[in-house]
Amino acid sequence: MRLHDLKPRPGAKHRRKRLGQGESSGHGKTSGRGGKGQSARSGSSIRPGFEGGQMPLFRRIPKRGFSNAMHKINYVEVNLRSLNRFEDGARVDEAALRAVNVAHGRGDGVKILGTGDLTRKLTVVAHAFSTTAREKIEALGGTCEVVVAKASRSI
């Protein structure tokens, strides 16, 4: 097979709609723009949400209440079973977790969750711990150190 033999799959290419080619074409006269009015004119564009001068929906609906989403701290979650790859007695922090690609993605801190079993005694430094994760780490003689996470968004 050569480059000149390549062609798109059947049905992948569509013919261009040829507007204004006479009445019998089905796209003649108004060329698919309907009757008269703003949208029939050349160069017309109406912004999304515009309701022809009527008060738009997003302005009619009352805006009340408070959303805590601006102040939420988004954690990168790491399960306890993922910590078994570290040496016994090691100090595990966010940098170490990211180095072995256990904690990946953007977030304001790392939270250790209690899914799975831990087999090593570790000193785990994270921004948050679930109750079961803390219990399992401390049951093996390890320690949990909490670092204060700060929200990445400002008010």
50-108 pLDDT per residue, tens: 998 999 999 999 988 888 888 888 999 999 999 999 999 999 999 999 999 999 999 88
pLDDT at 13 over 80: yes
> What SS3 class is residue 116?
coil
Query: Please, where are the H alpha helices in the chain?
Result: 57-60, 94-99, 131-139
Q: What percent of the chain has pLDDT over 90?
A: 74
**Predicted local confidence at residue 114, as pLDDT:** 94
- Return the CATH class of domain 74-146: alpha beta
Closest CA to 142 of 130, 131, 155, 133: 133
